[in-house]
Structures are given as structure tokens and as C-alpha cells.
Structure 1
Amino acid sequence: MHGNSLNLFRKSSKEEIVVGKKGSRRSDASMNTEVLKRKLGTGIAAINELSGATHKLNLHGKQDSELFFFSFSPLESATRHFSDENKLGQGGFGPVYKGTLTDGQEIAVKRLSRRSRQGVKEFKNEVMLISNLQHRNLVRVLGCCIKGEEKILVYEYLPNKSLDSFLFDSLHRVLLDWKKRMNIIEGIVQGLLYLHKYSRLRIIHRDLKTTNILLDNNMNPKISDFGTAKIFEENESRANTNRIVGTYGYMSSEYAMNGLFSEKSDVFSFGVMMLEILSGWKNNGFPQSNEFSNLLEYAWHLWTEGRCLELMDPEVAKTCIDTRKFRWYVEVGLYCVQDGAEDRPTMSDVVSMLGSDT
């Protein structure tokens, strides 16, 4: 039974949904809404059965124990009719807006761009996964809205936005001292360990990067954006795809070149982020001489020459007393970005390594 349910989920995740082409009638949009709800219901039921979850999701009701279905009008009012002043950013899915509900609760509203065909798939995928993911280092999704052509995801609002807005900004990076950077690394590790090992389902994120790490009021990290995530069965170790998604600079070679992905693909992406957090440099657009094309090459060069302290962000240098710990973090980061997937650690290994210094 579980195998059949998983097949249902995978098939539905590959199908495309036509959403209101120009000139389509209102009845067409309504029909497509019902089709999407049925597909979501089928996919969520399959995931719940596979994961052993017992709660039921009523797509035509208001909410179940974990997911709320918003009406469109309150979200429109909360974002001041999706005004530019409330816009937080723009992604492949569509724009993200800050909103305030009538009870004063602040939310982040991700609205599917009507021009985005890929966004419909990502919307379906994220809605079908979020009811099964609960962890302090994952962004909490409050619910969604489906009305005609409108497809909206509603998240908790995190005022500090994304990690990259601090890490690569000359004014804000001063707020990331050594202790905070260690805490951010640790939080990302715990979130990934949950996805790979302890959640109801084994989840491969596939698009880990600093823009998808959001920070709460206390600068604790939360992994976001599960639109391209994939579910693995217990006996699966890797999978193959013809559709490469993600961001170059964070992709492992086996994924970028051959479409092979696994837990070790996420480990590679984590390793890139770890070295970026330690150095304050982006892997892509590396500022050094033409001798090194990216941060990974430069970090490896410094490590082989015993000069890895030169990788340290000057802001870290002001507060990092234990340079031996910094060196060890660099080594763990380099361990994660090895070319061969089989040579990289698991996230369980990373937890053990970061708790040691040998």
C-alpha cells in the first residue's frame, strides 16, 4: 500500500496544471482550482499514508491540526493589496510580501506569479510537504490560499530576513560575531539532520543556499523554500532527474552534471554555506585573483598550505579566541564539499565532528 501511495504522489508532482491563460473564462479558473485541490488532496493523503501520519486535511474546510486555508481577501488586506511598499523580495516562485493580519500577527505572503508555470509545481510540492515538517530550524508555514488563478503560501514572518542579507553586506556583517556564526551553522546542521533522518519522511532539500536560510529575532537560522524538495523512501540512497533545479555554486558536481542527487547533495550545499559563513565571501563572484575561480578552491589552497586562518572574516577575527576551533570548522566544511559523494560525511557525521576537535 505504501508503495502505491508513493507512486501516486510522484505522478501528481510531475503533472502540469494549466492556470488561467489570457482570455480564459472565470469558470475555467474555478475548474482549475478544484483540480488543484483534488491533486493536493491526493498527494497529501499519499504522503500522510507513507509517513504514518493520521491527521486528515479537509481542503474545502478551514483547517486541520497543522495547516490553515486562508481566504484571499484577508491576505489582500494584510499586504495592502500586495503593494510595492510591502514587498520583501522576488524569487522564482513569485514575489514575497510582508503582511499584518487584523489580530496584529505579522506574516510573510508568497504569491505565485501568474507567468510562472514552474511555480505551480513548487506550490503543490511545498503544500504537500509542509504538514509533515515541524522543527525549530525550519520556517513554519501557516497555511495557503487557492482562489482561481491565485496560489499563495503564508509563512511566519522573520524580521531579519535571509542570512545573505547579513553575511555579504558590509554594514550588517558586523552583527555576525563568531558565537553567532557558530550558532547559525549549528542550527542549519540540526535542521538538515531532521530532514534527512528524523522527520516523518526523508527529505532532500535540493536548493540550500544562504538566501534560503532565514533568521529570527535572535538570529537563529530557519531553512526555507521546499518547493523543489524530494521525498526518499527508506531504502533509497539516491535518485536521478533530467530537470536540474537549484543554484550553481551550491550544487554538487554529480547533480549539476548528471542529475544525481542524494543526502550528500545537500551536504555539499551545506559545506559551501559553511565556508561562506566562516569567510564572509560568496563562493560565486569570489573577489580574489584569477588564480582561484571560487571560494572552495581558495579555501582548499589555504588549508593545504596550513594558512586557513587567512580565510577568517575580519569580523570573526575580532571575537574568535579559539583559532583551533575555527581551523576545525574549515576542515569540516572542506570535508563536506569533496568531489565524490561517497567521500562526504552524512549530517549525523557532521554533528559528531562539530562536537569534537580531532
Structure 2
Amino acid sequence: MNAPVHPSASPREIATRAVRELYGPLDQMADPRNAPIEVGGVASGSAVFGFGDRDANGVVSVKVYAKVYPDRGASAQHARLLRLRHVLQTQDTGHPLHIPQPLGVDQDGRCLLQAPARGQLLSDLPAGPKLLAALSQTGAALARLHRTPASVLGHAERSGERLHDQIDALMRPQPDTLARQCAPLTALVRQVQTDIARRHEDGHRSAPATLAHRDVHPRQLFVSPQGIDLIDWDLAGAADPALDLANLLIHLDRRWPGHQADCTAALCEGYGAERMAALRERLPVWRAFHHLRRACKSHRLGAEPARIHAELLAAQQALATPSRVTNPGVPT
């Protein structure tokens, strides 16, 4: 057995070693002369690398992704992905939702290896009939996800049914910290927090929680004839289904401006008119929630106060239009 990775090893070194350790046939792709491509990072501090064959132009055809965690969280995530894949694959609904196959974890529990998603990134599609068909397919896949009861999750994950649990799990920094550290916007942050809590208390606290991804957006979704592949399940937990849909709708508004109505209609068609009608009134509060979440993220990433301010105003606007499915986004 290989020795544990040195504590000072870089994420790239950890990923390279994991490929050698767990995926022997791809050993040549971990050769230092043929370094992996860095795909990106996530809010938790993880780093993602792709390994594959390089062509003469240096383009990599990725065959395995390596996700390196800042702690030893890879083992727990591997077990969770296997459990979620099993649950989703045993549902026979005719609307495939697929989680790419987890391939293993390194011996230190730092690196998760996973097969690539199938198909084309939703975010790469231009506005037009192909995009609308993909959004209808996405809506059907999310409806399938939201038919899955929260009971498939572990006890700790089921605790996310309350608003403050969602804030604790999804907002970095917390809104209270944002209010303290961004003095010019303190009053506005506090007002948005209060308004979201009041609206949730008035009409949404009893909404049934289901299995939810909690970070659905066009760069997490891959579309193919075989169905929808949804990646990055680190934040999956119990939630009101409207939380997932509200986040995706914000991203659709911003990614394809001028096509919001058509995009929303296609997503709703796939999700199902009856199911959408049941949660339509809950979308504004979760839109506001995600705008506050984006304000917190913008602050964490060092954005200018104007960007944070725009997100907070968008949260207020969402709450001011309770009966609308669509809501104009702020510029990205």
C-alpha cells in the first residue's frame, strides 16, 4: 500500500496520486509530463481536476475527474453518491436523472474519483429550440428528483427542513457576518433577512421537504439523449423543491436574457403544470433566499459593494412580486 499523502501536498499532487493509486489503467494520464487540467473549485474549498488523453493540440478528452477536499470528506461523499445513485436508478419514471459513477476514494479520504457526465453542458446551448427542449427535459428530471422523499437521506441531512438550517448549510459567510462586515449595507441586509423569515413563516414553513440538490444551475447540468446528468452533489439535502427551482430560474434569467419567458415555460412544462402550480407561490421567497446567498458569496469573493447591493435589491424585488414565476435578474 502506498504511504499516506504528505500533509503539505498540493491538491494537484493529491489528485495525481489518487489516479495512480485507484485507477491503474489511466496511470499514464497522471504522468507529470502530461499534467491534469484544473477544472475549478467550489465554495467548500474543493479543487477539481480532469485526467484524460491529450491530442496533438493539447486538448484533453477527460476520462476521470478527481475532486480533492480540504478535509477527509471524500469517503462520506462517495458513500452518499452511491446511495443516491441507487435510489434514483430504482425509480422507474421514464425521465432519467443520472449521477455520474463514483469510481473510488484515495486511502487518505481526500480525493474522490468520478466518471465524466454524459452529453453537453446546458450552459453551452444557445437560445433556441434545442435549449427549450433541454429545459423541458431538465424540468422532468428535477420533478423525478423531487418525488424522492427526504427519508432516503441520513438523519443529519434531514435536519435541513427549516429555513435557518438552509441558511447555515448554504450561505458563506452567514448573513449576520455579511451585515457586520459590510457596514454600508448593514440595514439592507437585516431588512432582507427579516422579510425572508417573515414570508417563510407566513406561508411556507409547512412545505414538505424532499430530496433536493440545492445548487442546480446550468453548469451542473448535462443534456444527452439518455437523459440529464447532474453533477456536484456536495450540498444535496432535504429542502422545499421550490428552493432548487428558484435557483435555476435565476440562472436562466441571467444566462439567456431576453428569453426568460420561453425558458421558464419550457422548464415548467417538463416539471409538470400541476406540480409547478403547487409550489408557484413559494418561489419568490426562495428567489430572495438565493439572492441573499449570492450577496454573501459575492462578499466572500471580494466583490465590490455595488454587486452585493444589487443582489440585495433583487431579493427585495423577488419578495415584492409574490405571484410571478419570472423575476428580472440583476446584471452579472
Q: TM-score category by the smaller chain?
A: 0.3 to 0.5
Whose RCO is larger (CA < 8 A, sep 6+)?
A: 2
The TM-score with structure 2 as length reference comes to 0.45
TM-score by length of 1: 0.42
